[in-house]
Amino acid sequence: MSNLWQDLQWRGLIAQSTDEKVLSGLLNNKSITFYIGFDPTAPSLHLGNLMQILLAKRLQLAGHKPLALVGGATGLIGDPKESGERNLNEEEIVITWTENIAKQLVKYFDFFGNNKCDVVNNFDWTSKLDAISLLRDLGKHFSINRMLEREAVSARLNASGISYTEFSYALLQANDYLELHRKYDCQLQTGGSDQWGNITAGVDLIRRVEAKSVKLVEVINGEI
């Protein structure tokens, strides 16, 4: 794992990160668990997922443990786009697409050994989250002012508007990071350049709830 961070930068896989010096030392000197998320917005993985997979694979080859998350829950909601509201797909379609993506991910990672990959589905814990818990246990940790500053949200408010459904997406993704941190001691999330706001929300949620510091990396040109 020597000079892993420098190697990832040399390959053009890193756009920005939190606490670069600390994260560099963490990746270079010990094995950690990290996660990468894939929402079922199409029947299969697509080109926008490629750099995500490349970074995750490099991290696993260096001895780190990947969690490949398929968004069975977040895929039912839809991450806000600057261009406009997403169409909500039927639950049966989302389930099928989630299963397809999970099967495809098996081809890219090692599922044996100490740092074997685990495929997880955020529907498993999000479906158990009731409205009161969402508002009391998660919502109270989010500042509306900060959420309004997100680039996609700001663009939508100045154009076509945004539904409460898509506006709340960040809470669900942040909760994913919290759940994986609690269950797997996940310390790093990687994401595309369109995910910075969502991932920083997860970092902040873990800091507020668990009083712990976790990291994030943005993949250059890795929009999903």
Per the model's pLDDT, the better-predicted residue between 137 and 48 turns out to be 137
Average pLDDT over residues 176-194: 91
Q: List the structure tokens of 147.
A: 């959420």
Quote the pTM value: 0.90
d(CA 157, CA 174): 22
Calculate mean pLDDT across residues 176-182: 95
What does the longest C-alpha to C-alpha distance in the chain come to? Answer: 50
Which neighbouring-strand residues pair with 33? Answer: 65, 186
Domain ranges of the chain: 4-219
Q: Lowest-pLDDT range, 52-61, 98-107, 126-135, 148-157?
A: 148-157
**CA pair distance 172, 198, nearest whole angstrom:** 9
For 211, left (φ over 0), alpha (ψ -120 to 50), or beta? Answer: left
Topology of domain 4-219, CATH: Rossmann fold (3.40.50)
pLDDT of 224 strictly over 60: no
Q: Is the pLDDT of residue 178 over 80?
A: yes
Q: Band of the pLDDT at 174, cuts 50, 70, 90?
A: very high
For 78-104, how does the pLDDT look when each residue is reduced to its tens digit (9 = 90+)?
A: 887 777 788 889 999 999 999 999 999
What token pair was written down for 77? 């909601």
